[in-house]
Amino acid sequence: MKSFSDSYKEAGVDVTAGYRAVELMKSHVARTMVPGMLSGIGGFGGLFEMDLTGIQKPVLVSGTDGVGTKLKLAFLLDKHNTVGIDCVAMCVNDIVCCGAKPLLFLDYIALGKNVPERVASIVEGVAEGCVQSGCALAGGETAEMPGFYSVDEYDLAGFSVGVVDKDKILDPKSVREGDVIIGIASSGVHSNGFSLVRKVFDVENCDLNAYADELGAPLGETLLTPTKLYVKPILRLLEEVSVKSISHITGGGFYENIPRALPDGMQAKIQRSAVDVLPIFKLIQKVGNIPERDMFNTFNMGVGMCVIVDAKDADRALQALSSCGEKASVIGEVVKGDGVEIC
């Protein structure tokens, strides 16, 4: 006998919708299967057998995050197949900053009403993020919570685990005066600062589908552009160059995130002219009348990752990133001091 409960359904939870959602998402999950994945979806846990070939001292690295209020744009535009990419990226981009290779990812979707097609669309994005970062979607949870979330809204969060050889963990303490900072281009706002974005554009009351000349695209489409996944190019870079430290530019922008990749007593001196600020940030600043310092303290401004290398390795690092299709350039250097200076 199949599982169902009329009483639970009358309370707002349709368990059969959950089963339908699982069936719809199976094809997306199948795309993420990588060597080591021993189980499919539907069990109580995701089983993964690690291949530790060449790793002398394996260390597990974990990361968790959500999409945040960028989800409001997905609701307003009724487009749900890209926010999963954001969810994966916010986790695995952090993990790779340690030098780790992401192995698996799990998602958590909490919603007011389980619409199977919408859930499958969300998972489609999650699966795409996993494919782009080379990790398996090992499982997840969909929680129908009527009365807690409205029927048209949901929250999305995730968790990832990676592995790195202990002797190859990137250590900010290795950074020295004179090292250079390479900025790797972002795809847009990514998944941070959307409380400010939503206020600036009053997104609930503006036409998100209207074409914006400054952007060469509709505003909503630009804002919903998914977070760039840096895992594969960074892992390739680590094979070719001695990278000292990496910073993922997320909420808090340059001023909060770059210092996390520096030792005490060192400062990141960023050349403002070297930062290729994307049009969306120029528009946000203009419409919101936001001071430039606040912009650099909130958004990535067009730089999604900062990689610190010895000056002699800079050209080789840029070449390696270019060969992966990444747009990268030297945006600054490490000097004695504290925090970040943009000059």
- DSSP code of 100? P
Q: Reply yes or no on whether the pLDDT at 14 is more than 60.
A: yes
Residue 86: per-residue pLDDT: 98
Model confidence band, residue 38 (pLDDT cutoffs 50, 70, 90): confident
**Of 45-49, 153-157, 279-283, 330-334, which gets the smallest average pLDDT?**
45-49
Class of domain 172-342: alpha beta
- Cβ-based neighbour number of residue 312 at 10 Å: 11
Which amino acid, residue 283? L
Residue 1: per-residue pLDDT: 52
Average pLDDT over residues 21-30: 80
Residue 71: per-residue pLDDT: 98
* Per-residue pLDDT tens digits for 70-91: 999 999 999 999 999 999 999 9
- Token duo for residue 87: 């969810």
Q: What percent of the chain has pLDDT over 90?
A: 85
Distance, in Å, from the CA atom of 151 to the CA atom of 114, rounded to the nearest integer, reads: 8
Higher pLDDT, 2 or 132: 132
Residue 220: per-residue pLDDT: 98
Q: Reply yes or no on whether the pLDDT at 61 is more than 90.
A: yes
Distance, in Å, from the CA atom of 89 to the CA atom of 67, rounded to the nearest integer, reads: 9
DSSP-based three-state secondary structure for 14: coil
- pTM of the entire predicted model: 0.94
Residue 25: per-residue pLDDT: 75
DSSP-based three-state secondary structure for 135: coil
Q: Reply yes or no on whether the pLDDT at 8 is more than 60.
A: no
DSSP codes, 23-68: HHHHHHHHTT--TTB---TTSSS--B----TT-SSEEEEEEEEE-G
Question: 154-165 and 243-248: which strand pairing?
Answer: unpaired
* Per-residue pLDDT tens digits for 173-221: 999 999 999 999 999 999 999 999 999 999 999 999 999 999 999 999 9
Distance, in Å, from the CA atom of 33 to the CA atom of 298, rounded to the nearest integer, reads: 36
Model confidence band, residue 3 (pLDDT cutoffs 50, 70, 90): low
Q: Reply yes or no on whether the pLDDT at 271 is more than 90.
A: yes
User: What is the helix (H) or strand (E) element at residue 292, kind and residue range?
Assistant: helix 292-296
* Per-residue pLDDT tens digits for 243-252: 999 999 999 9
- Token duo for residue 18: 């959950």
DSSP codes, 231-267: HHHHHHHHHHS-EEEEEE--TTHHHHHGGGGS-TTEE
Report the CATH fold assignment for 6-168: 60s Ribosomal Protein L30; Chain: A; (3.30.1330)
* Per-residue pLDDT tens digits for 273-285: 999 999 999 999 9
> Which residues, including other chains, have CB under 8 Å from residue 239's CB and lie 6 or more apart?
none
**DSSP alpha helices (H): ranges in 61-216?**
71-77, 83-95, 116-133, 194-201
CB hemisphere CA count around 164 (13 angstroms): 20
Distance, in Å, from the CA atom of 285 to the CA atom of 287, rounded to the nearest integer, reads: 6
Q: Reply yes or no on whether the pLDDT at 11 is more than 70.
A: no
Q: Reply yes or no on whether the pLDDT at 43 is more than 90.
A: no
Residue 5: per-residue pLDDT: 62
Distance, in Å, from the CA atom of 147 to the CA atom of 110, rounded to the nearest integer, reads: 12
Residue given tokens 């610190």 in the structure block: 308
Residue 28: per-residue pLDDT: 84
Residue 44: per-residue pLDDT: 77
Q: Where are the domains of the chain?
A: 6-168, 172-342
Q: What percent of the chain has pLDDT over 70?
A: 94
Distance, in Å, from the CA atom of 88 to the CA atom of 20, rounded to the nearest integer, reads: 23
Residue 29: per-residue pLDDT: 79
Which residues are paired to 330 by β-bridges?
182
- DSSP code of 343? -
Distance, in Å, from the CA atom of 191 to the CA atom of 189, rounded to the nearest integer, reads: 6
Residue given tokens 């299709």 in the structure block: 325
Q: Do domains 6-168 and 172-342 have the same CATH topology?
A: no
Average pLDDT in the chain? 94
Which residues are paired to 107 by β-bridges?
140, 158
* Per-residue pLDDT tens digits for 133-169: 999 999 999 999 999 999 999 999 999 999 999 999 9
| Phi and psi torsions of 96, nearest 5° | -70, -15
